[in-house]
Structure 1
């Protein structure tokens, strides 16, 4: 009996010790799991936040790039739209402009100034030089002076003028000049003819041997610069 009780006590003690060790091991695992859990969750949240920030940054950069492209395109289009308007302006006709003549200051009035004002309400290109015929007895056009040609086409906006100087004579009282009270003008590349009244109550006197005309220009020039 004593031997049996002794063995039972030893067995109970061993069982108790084993249970204690098992509980200790379980508690250690639970503690490890709990401490690892928050760390893992925080890491995941940080990764998600970082990914969200990267995505937001990429979207912002993309929006900036798109805005820059749109601004550049708009500027180019606007820049391309004005040039095209000048290049595509139709040729001025005598229906598009009002042509008048005035004496150039300074006797003996060897030049007159032709002014062609755009009255069409739209832009047009006035080309070359005026085709002037002064006399019924001389049907040929007054010849042009090549060095008076402008460097670029003359595009007249609505209401804008162009000018051309016309040499009538060399001056002096001994020349065989012919009086003119009105004359005809055609525009290069344009349809129709304009009848222009000569300036002054007595008209003008022209010499077919020396007359000449300048090209249309957007500014009024001095006759001595072109002839």
Structure 2
């Protein structure tokens, strides 16, 4: 009896061990859980390496950003400050200065007339002298009317127009050549003792005395005037 109980007890223990081993095999948690754990660790490690390398590459990115600071090579745009070197355009400020100079009016100048050349006297020279005490700009040409019977202004000669504005300092003169006739005795010529002149931009009439005791002979159909200029020029003022 004792032997039988002892054997049955051993069988029971063995059966329990068998059941436990079979259960462990079915669950597969013991052996399989370990490599699964290691694979997840290696995945984290690879991720970690990714992030780990991202830190140094981040530093290389920062180096690349240094390359972007190399875009401070847009200091070449500071070369556009060289465009501020268009201070050479300050030369244009000289033009602006002349443009800002006030236009001469009848109050600023004294206009006189003199015969030009010798007989027959076919031309006059008008002189406009700045008597204002300040600089002024004389523009265009003199608007001349010789006779009461001819109200239209004497036509201007385009080729006599100066290239630059005529700026008169105090005391400076400007000149305009005026054609009176073709010369000689002509029935169309009329004696003129005085005539009217207006400056461009000013409606004030300036009365100018003709030179000589007998005045000058004017053919209204032939009369012409040049532009105001600092000095008479051989070709531009030949008409």
Q: 1:79, CA displacement in angstroms?
A: 6.3
Quick check: 76-85 or 127-136, which moved more?
A: 76-85
Give 1:24-35 correspondences, 5 Å limit. Answer: none
CA RMSD, 1 decimal: 2.4
Distance in 2 of aligned mates of 1:169 and 1:223? 19
The yes-or-no answer on 1:123 pairing with 2:135 is yes
Does the CA-based 8 Å contact 1:111-1:223 persist in structure 2? no
Q: Which runs of 5+ in 2 are unaligned?
A: 1-84
CA separation of 1:83 and 1:145: change in aligned 2, threshold 3 A:
closer
Q: 1:173, CA displacement in angstroms?
A: 1.7
Does the CA-based 8 Å contact 2:177-2:237 persist in structure 1? no
Distance in 1 of aligned mates of 2:191 and 2:236? 23
Instruction: Summarize deviations over 1:146-188 as a string: whole Å, max 9, x none.
Output: 1111111111111111100000000122342100000000001
| Counterpart pick for 2:106 among 73, 89, 94 | 94
| Counterpart pick for 1:211 among 218, 223, 231 | 223
Does the CA-based 8 Å contact 1:214-1:226 persist in structure 2? no
Q: 1:192, CA displacement in angstroms?
A: 1.2
| Counterpart pick for 1:192 among 184, 204, 210 | 204
CA separation of 1:204 and 1:84: change in aligned 2, threshold 3 A:
same
Quick check: 170-179 or 132-141, which moved more?
A: 170-179
CA separation of 1:184 and 1:216: change in aligned 2, threshold 3 A:
same
Distance in 2 of aligned mates of 1:197 and 1:89? 29
Aligned length: 155
Give 1:67-82 correspondences, 5 Å limit. Answer: 82=94
CA separation of 1:203 and 1:80: change in aligned 2, threshold 3 A:
same
Does the CA-based 8 Å contact 2:226-2:237 persist in structure 1? no
CA separation of 1:77 and 1:147: change in aligned 2, threshold 3 A:
closer
Q: Which runs of 5+ in 1 are unaligned?
A: 1-72
Matched with 2:147 is 135
Distance in 2 of aligned mates of 1:224 and 1:155? 19
Matched with 1:167 is 179
Does the CA-based 8 Å contact 2:160-2:236 persist in structure 1? no
CA separation of 1:145 and 1:80: change in aligned 2, threshold 3 A:
closer
Distance in 2 of aligned mates of 1:191 and 1:76? 39
Q: TM-score, normalised by structure 1?
A: 0.62
CA separation of 1:81 and 1:146: change in aligned 2, threshold 3 A:
closer
